[in-house]
Amino acid sequence: MNKKLTLFGALLLTGWMISTAAREARPVVKEITTLKEYETISKAIRRPTVFVFNSSTCQACNLLNKAVETVAKTYSNQANFYRINDLKSDAFKGLPQKLKIKGYPTTYLTKPGAEPCSERGSMEVDELDKLVYRLIHGKPKPMITRPAQPAKK
């Protein structure tokens, strides 16, 4: 009986490890490489979606990419995250004008039934986290308050 229980526990643990590894192996922020791909994705949006438009040669974009990766790991089960590099290439002809993207990096947030919004410039993780939370929940992220410490006597 004890051997069967041990074997069952080992199988459960192995299954959990495999599913965790599979989740971690998938990219959380997906790369879009063509205008057609962007149009297909943008027309099929069924949940909150974040598009990050940047350039591979932009230092502020590289900083934002790190924040996007971090925030995407937190909200990947509630929102989609996409990265589009080098909009000036022929692969994305006309898209910057259509979306009114005037510089890099630009974060474009949208969800079904809501007006999209965009933020230009790099952001820290906490700032981006607040934007994505608001996109998903439709309200500001609650402030975390710590209980007051009792006065020392």
- The predicted-structure confidence for 74-104, as pLDDT tens digits, reads as follows 999 999 999 998 777 777 888 888 888 888 8
> Is 40 within the bounds of a domain?
yes
- The CATH number of whichever domain residue 45 belongs to comes to 3.40.30.10
Tally the domains of the chain.
1
Whole-angstrom Cα distance, residue 147 to residue 95?
Answer: 49
> Is 9 within the bounds of a domain?
no
Q: Which helix (H) or strand (E) holds 106?
A: strand 106-110
Domain that holds residue 127: 28-137
> Is 71 within the bounds of a domain?
yes
Predicted confidence at residue 26, as pLDDT, reads 62
Q: Report pTM.
A: 0.76
Whole-angstrom Cα distance, residue 32 to residue 85?
Answer: 8
> Is 18 within the bounds of a domain?
no
β-strand partners of 28: none
pLDDT by residue (tens digit) across 46-57?
999 999 999 888
pLDDT by residue (tens digit) across 1-50?
566 556 555 555 555 555 554 445 567 999 999 989 999 999 999 999 99
Please give the structure tokens belonging to residue 102. Answer: 């005037």
pLDDT by residue (tens digit) across 96-141?
888 888 888 999 999 998 889 999 999 999 999 999 999 999 988 8
Please give the structure tokens belonging to residue 111. Answer: 């969800």
Q: Which helix (H) or strand (E) holds 130?
A: helix 125-137
Q: Identify residue 28 by its one-letter amino acid code.
A: V
